[in-house]
Structure 1
């Protein structure tokens, strides 16, 4: 039976430069993100995700508002967060916002819950960083209680309790599709499995293959908690041009800007071109290159991890809107069809190998050596 694969795009609404090299306004970037999503829908991609940030380099602080605008301009693509920083938000309000988006989009809403890689939202909304872990644990517990859409009675330590409370609006058909986004810790993977929720692995550095054990841990934990198998997705940055050299040369100065900015805040040294090209190599987490190069790399990572969805984080620093649109088009029309072809070939080979392996296995019984 062929496996079902999905391919999406993620953006943080990175503030980009215009034709004159000057930074665009945040408002213009927001309008450009909508056009990028409209293109993704027209080209048949499966998902468009928008991340939440509260700093100058990124234009999107309210993804659900942008997604609502996109819902009115698109027809079939699923729309979601990438990620919603649940620790500094209220689970009930998050559920209400995405249930509203689900109604407006005729059932196309998704939410990816996570802790995020930045901490600006904590002081902004009055939360203590010292409670970073506890806030997420408790709020995820409440959000999970909301998903069945039954009256909720719940209590915790950091939020007021609920007693036989219904949440409106309800999701029209089934449950709100909810994922847990993780950066790579075993504890986060097991937490996602505990709630029986699908997993998104944010792989932004190093070899994607090293995340395979985490995906295996997640699947084992799902079984131990008594849950049905759930999909695993991969989120990674990338950029596609006609050739490998063109992709690297176009991306490098814009990628360098954002990585060095963040690195200075976190005590990293400046990124080098050598390191950048290493991440774009066959064993790195940056999917930058020609359509064939990127397709081969995506297929390899998905096979290693057992992922059934890949979301390309297509916005990278100040990379201009026009280049992003070109990358989206190559991704949808050249990369995704090629990845589907490669995965279909691999799945067919795997199916053929299974009967041979079964036939070669020793028969069970008391006399087996």
Structure 2
């Protein structure tokens, strides 16, 4: 059994909150250059996939993941390069396909598209979309994107997006259709949609016991099977917040300040309760959604999650908030050199 291990990032770029003080944020330009180095490091040490998020707000540096992934593609050789996610509802499927097909060419066939409805909604007013059309926009645009992916000459009828009649979309991927996955925070609609379309799915598990997502996955598989898709050929992935250091204590000490700052920013926007150490300890514990600790601790928690949920891919989302770039690189190296061998050995005969 092959389980892919990788990383996701939102290119967080705020002041850096440390256990002993605060450092000023780097420029967005420097954060983007740091992301490229993180991708190159992940590739060098043998991780399988890197997913980069799209945001349009001051606390995240990347609004166009494809450009950053393409920059990293030239100095990497095997790592798969994905969005995490492309907010498809507020983008145009033709341009999404064209950008990722270009990335696929630059990377020699390593591009993937992870699409979602968008838990951050700043892109909707920015690009002139009505939030009242949230669901219909996604449904129309995933339908068009799949049409383009499988047909070089496109015929498609839409309501919110103008129709296309007998027009070509180029360049075409060299090795057939691009891998497209649907990402979700756990809404039943996304599991149903991905299952019906026979698309891979990625669950963002950022709170609570990961085991509770088994119901979503069972629903996804059941729907996929009812539509005639082979569930054994579908990739099921998760991504969760995490951080790795030499010891559990060091990892928690270094990770907590940035997680608290990031969470509290969103808490003010969304009406959540402020974050505290009890919440952190609960999520970092055996039944929580964060993978924080020594390589051995993180590896065992990943193994349990993969086995319980039947995953084919696990991605560690780091950093959460901003941490020093050197610490992010250390986490990447530890994930590759110390965690991955434990996970690989456990599943090699499964």
* CA distance in 1: counterparts of 2:101 and 2:177, whole angstroms: 9
Give the alignment partner of residue 309 of structure 1, picking from 295, 307, 313.
313
> Normalising by structure 2, what TM-score?
0.96
2:301 paired residue number: 297
1:98 paired residue number: 100
1:255 paired residue number: 259
Max Rg structure: 1
- Matched-pair contact (CA < 8 Å) for 1:259–1:271: yes
Deviations 1:274-324 (A, max 9, x none): 001100001011101111110011110111110010011111101111110
2:10 paired residue number: 12
Is 1:334 equivalent to 2:338 in the alignment? yes
Q: Helix, strand or coil for the counterpart of 2:150?
A: coil
Give the alignment partner of residue 128 of structure 2, picking from 126, 129, 135.
126
1:75 paired residue number: 77
Q: Helix, strand or coil for the counterpart of 1:312?
A: strand
* CA distance in 2: counterparts of 1:265 and 1:201, whole angstroms: 23
- Matched-pair contact (CA < 8 Å) for 1:149–1:170: no
* CA distance in 2: counterparts of 1:114 and 1:268, whole angstroms: 23
1:269 paired residue number: 273
* CA distance in 1: counterparts of 2:15 and 2:338, whole angstroms: 26
1:143 paired residue number: 145
Q: Helix, strand or coil for the counterpart of 2:25?
A: coil
Deviations 1:160-211 (A, max 9, x none): 1011222100011121011110111122101001111111111111111000
Q: How many residues align structurally?
A: 344
1:353 paired residue number: none
- Matched-pair contact (CA < 8 Å) for 1:4–1:308: yes
Gaps of 5+ in 2: none
> Normalising by structure 1, what TM-score?
0.91
1:279 paired residue number: 283
Gaps of 5+ in 1: 348-369
- Matched-pair contact (CA < 8 Å) for 1:241–1:330: yes
4+ long deviations beyond 4 Å: 16-20
- Matched-pair contact (CA < 8 Å) for 1:303–1:343: no
Q: Helix, strand or coil for the counterpart of 1:32?
A: helix
- Matched-pair contact (CA < 8 Å) for 1:16–1:321: no
* CA distance in 2: counterparts of 1:15 and 1:167, whole angstroms: 35
